């Protein structure tokens, strides 16, 4: 009767907390208060036979991960399963019903696996700060999520899982807590920022390089961690079809988690992720995507969201809001990190097909872009976002970093008109963008840094409120902050396929000429960027990955930028980026 929560303490390990289903946060994800989105525990108790998997019957199949660090706690993740494959299940009102029709899927079992964790400041686990135990079952695809607590701020920890009462252990992971909210931070804090990691399109060298350099404190992912469509290029995405069901999304994430560099990144760094469209479906908005809407989209989104919460080491910050992943982190008095969801939460209609007003529904969207009541994130999240910006400024945090999916700055080709070419970015939600600028202006909020992904190219801009406030592209005067938008880990350039630099670089040149606030742009390289955040200044380094077809540590430095506290623009030293970049096009600078 091990499943009677709170009654039985397994005698074997009196020092450890008793096991329960509740201790495994995977059962709460995405929200146990909403039937269909999480598994009612009553349903799980009913399905138990009372027997546990022995250590020989289960494996830690997908490594370990940690994420959403706070000053005294962090989320840790693993999977302890009788199979490397994933569990098929159908979501029905009131719970999850196992289905047996999928030949690729394992048979859901009523047996549970029991998992223990330890977290310690040393790698030999002599200074254990917290420990715990919990069950996992097929209902949550055998995933395990704990909140490891009782930790010290801004401290490195090692954590490890084992089968209860057994010496069968997972690999050890390393993680780090954040500095406490009002703590003066003793040294600069470094982040690696990623987006758009398409497994079939290449190896995740970008993740591995930061592990090899051991160059950051935390990892941010701005979405498109997986892709939903069927693809088989450099390597095949399983399942070999577009994802719709819970099994599909679990299997897709699990396939990505076989990349050694991704596994290493998860096991060496605490991640702070948000999703973009492809975690559900291409060009998703509140009620649909490019190729699905209505009930099909609703069920698909439900499955995708659930698999994401099971497999990603993130917190559920509001149990009554099962879609909410927008959340914030205070990193001492150095910066606040606001992670937005401009994609799945409550976004108004986007461009599903077609471009720049030609084809698909893009003409329809063109007529909506100016509507005052249009929103990219929903009014509830907007109110929260503006409030967070104001609070962060008034508490005196030096910087405000905003992790966001799509590019914030206006982007035009400027060939015939100034019309933006991608309404699937903030350019399709003009009033919402104005409200962000208005908030910064009204509150005299300084040192705002937008971080963006989604575009598969690199864009570095001052935050210029075009048409509302004068902006001088040579000096940066009039800017409200900066935007760093990173290229993809592997996803193809927006120019598609392999476009040589002699084609890519002149297009970058055209783009920086057409957009006054755009100071550097590159279309050629896949890659990522690192931020080094101090009180006096913040710097960014962009890296490019030359080869995606094999696992490799090669990378090239593409450009570097500085932002001085209080200047609200990219530093000109003497021009932006020190006047030199190694790819793309740099305003008033050379490309070597």
Which residues sit at the interface with ligand NAG, rule CB under 6 A? 57-59, 82-84, 286-287, 371, 373, 393, 444-446, 566
To the nearest whole angstrom, how small is the minimum distance from the Cβ of residue 535 to ligand NAG?
Answer: 14
Which residues on neighbouring strands pair with residue 194, listed in sequence order?
221
Closer CB to ligand NAG, 368 or 499, in the complex: 368
The phi, psi pair for 554, rounded to 5°, reads -70, 140
DSSP letter, residue 201: G
Which H helix or E strand runs over 235? none
Largest CA-CA distance found in the chain, in angstroms, rounded: 76
Which residues on neighbouring strands pair with residue 557, listed in sequence order?
543
- CA-based nearest residue to 458, from 354, 584, 326: 584
To the nearest whole angstrom, how small is the minimum distance from the Cβ of residue 233 to ligand NAG?
Answer: 28
Which residues on neighbouring strands pair with residue 167, listed in sequence order?
none
Closer CB to ligand NAG, 6 or 367, in the complex: 367
Peptide bond into 582 cis (omega under 30): no
Which residues on neighbouring strands pair with residue 112, listed in sequence order?
52
Closer CB to ligand NAG, 8 or 371, in the complex: 371
How far apart are the two ends of the chain, measured CA to CA in Å? 69
Closer CB to ligand NAG, 85 or 310, in the complex: 85
Rounded to the nearest 5 percent, the helix, strand and coil shares of the chain are 20, 25, 50
Pairing between strand 173-176 and 189-194? unpaired
Closer CB to ligand NAG, 15 or 373, in the complex: 373
- The Cα 186–Cα 68 span in angstroms is 21
To the nearest whole angstrom, how small is the minimum distance from the Cβ of residue 60 to ligand NAG?
Answer: 9
To the nearest whole angstrom, how small is the minimum distance from the Cβ of residue 293 to ligand NAG?
Answer: 8
Closer CB to ligand NAG, 143 or 521, in the complex: 143
To the nearest whole angstrom, how small is the minimum distance from the Cβ of residue 302 to ligand NAG?
Answer: 10
Q: CB–CB of 523/324 below 8 Å?
A: no
To the nearest whole angstrom, how small is the minimum distance from the Cβ of residue 301 to ligand NAG?
Answer: 8
Q: CB–CB of 31/38 below 8 Å?
A: yes
Pairing between strand 458-462 and 518-522? antiparallel
- Secondary structure (3-state) at 462: strand
To the nearest whole angstrom, how small is the minimum distance from the Cβ of residue 478 to ligand NAG?
Answer: 13
DSSP letter, residue 431: H
To the nearest whole angstrom, how small is the minimum distance from the Cβ of residue 65 to ligand NAG?
Answer: 19
Count CB neighbours of 574 within 10 A: 9
Closer CB to ligand NAG, 54 or 152, in the complex: 54
Closer CB to ligand NAG, 82 or 534, in the complex: 82
Closer CB to ligand NAG, 146 or 480, in the complex: 480
To the nearest whole angstrom, how small is the minimum distance from the Cβ of residue 409 to ligand NAG?
Answer: 21
- The Cα 557–Cα 148 span in angstroms is 36
To the nearest whole angstrom, how small is the minimum distance from the Cβ of residue 371 to ligand NAG?
Answer: 5
Closer CB to ligand NAG, 302 or 452, in the complex: 302
To the nearest whole angstrom, how small is the minimum distance from the Cβ of residue 111 to ligand NAG?
Answer: 12
Q: Indicate the Cα dihedral angle 22, 27, 33, 35, nearest 10°.
A: -140
Closer CB to ligand NAG, 57 or 318, in the complex: 57
- Secondary structure (3-state) at 199: helix
State the burial class of residue 552 (Cβ atoms within 10 Å of its Cβ: 0-12, 13-18, 19+).
middle
Burial 405-427 (b: 16+ CB within 10 A, else e): bbbbbbbbbeeeeebbbbbbbbb
To the nearest whole angstrom, how small is the minimum distance from the Cβ of residue 227 to ligand NAG?
Answer: 23
Closer CB to ligand NAG, 429 or 528, in the complex: 429
């Amino acid at each position: 009767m091990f499943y009677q929560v709170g009654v039985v303490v397994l005698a074997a390990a009196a020092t450890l907390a008793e096991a329960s289903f509740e201790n495994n946060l995977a059962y709460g994800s995405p929200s146990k208060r909403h039937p269909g989105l999480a598994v009612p525990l009553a349903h799980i108790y009913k399905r138990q036979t009372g027997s546990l998997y022995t250590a020989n019957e289960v494996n830690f199949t997908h490594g370990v991960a940690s994420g959403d660090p706070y000053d005294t706690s962090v989320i840790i993740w693993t999977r302890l399963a009788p199979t490397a494959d994933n569990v098929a299940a159908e979501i029905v009102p009131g719970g999850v019903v196992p289905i047996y029709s999928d030949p690729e899927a394992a048979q859901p079992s009523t047996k549970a696996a029991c998992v223990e964790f330890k977290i310690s400041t040393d790698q030999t686990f002599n200074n254990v700060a917290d420990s715990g135990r919990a069950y996992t079952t097929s209902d949550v695809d055998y995933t395990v999520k704990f909140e490891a607590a009782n930790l010290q701020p801004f401290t490195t920890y090692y954590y490890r899982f084992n089968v209860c009462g057994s010496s069968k252990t997972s690999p050890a992971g390393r993680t780090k807590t954040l500095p406490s909210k009002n703590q003066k931070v003793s040294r600069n804090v470094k982040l690696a920022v990623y987006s758009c990691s398409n497994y079939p399109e290449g190896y995740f060298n970008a993740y591995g390089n930061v592990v090899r350099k051991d160059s950051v404190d935390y990892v941010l992912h701005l979405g498109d961690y997986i892709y939903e469509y069927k693809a088989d290029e450099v390597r095949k995405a399983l399942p070999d079809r577009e994802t719709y069901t819970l099994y599909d999304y679990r299997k897709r994430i699990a396939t990505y988690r076989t990349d050694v560099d991704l596994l290493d990144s998860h096991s060496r760094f605490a991640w702070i992720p948000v999703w973009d469209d492809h975690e559900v479906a291409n060009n998703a908005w509140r009620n649909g995507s490019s190729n699905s809407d209505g009930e099909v989209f609703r069920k698909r989104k439900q499955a995708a969201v659930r698999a994401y919460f099971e497999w990603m080491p993130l917190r559920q910050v509001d149990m009554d809001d099962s879609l909410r992943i927008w959340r914030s982190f205070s990193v001492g008095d150095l910066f606040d990190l606001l992670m937005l969801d401009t994609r799945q939460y409550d976004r108004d209609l986007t461009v599903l097909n077609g471009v720049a007003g030609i084809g698909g529904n893009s003409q329809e969207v063109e007529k909506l872009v100016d509507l005052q009541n249009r929103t990219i994130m929903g009014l509830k999240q907007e109110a929260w976002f503006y409030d967070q910006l104001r609070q962060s400024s008034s508490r005196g945090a030096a910087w405000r970093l905003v992790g966001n999916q799509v590019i914030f700055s206006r982007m035009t080709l400027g060939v015939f008109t100034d019309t933006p070419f991608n309404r699937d970015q903030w350019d399709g939600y003009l009033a919402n963008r104005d409200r962000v600028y208005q908030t910064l202006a009204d509150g005299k909020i300084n040192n705002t840094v937008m971080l963006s992904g989604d575009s598969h190219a690199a864009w570095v801009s001052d935050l210029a409120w075009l048409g509302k406030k004068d902006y001088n592209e040579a000096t940066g005067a009039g800017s409200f902050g900066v935007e760093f938008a990173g290229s993809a880990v592997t996803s193809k350039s927006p120019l598609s396929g392999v476009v040589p630099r002699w084609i890519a670089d002149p297009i970058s040149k055209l783009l920086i000429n057409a957009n006054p606030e755009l100071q550097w742009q590159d279309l050629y390289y896949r890659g990522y960027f690192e931020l080094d955040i101090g009180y006096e200044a913040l710097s960014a380094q962009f890296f490019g990955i030359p080869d995606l077809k094999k696992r490799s540590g090669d990378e090239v430095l593409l450009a570097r930028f500085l932002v001085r506290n209080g200047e609200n623009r990219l530093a000109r030293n003497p021009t932006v980026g020190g006047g030199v970049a190694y790819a793309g096009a740099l305003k008033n600078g050379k490309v070597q």
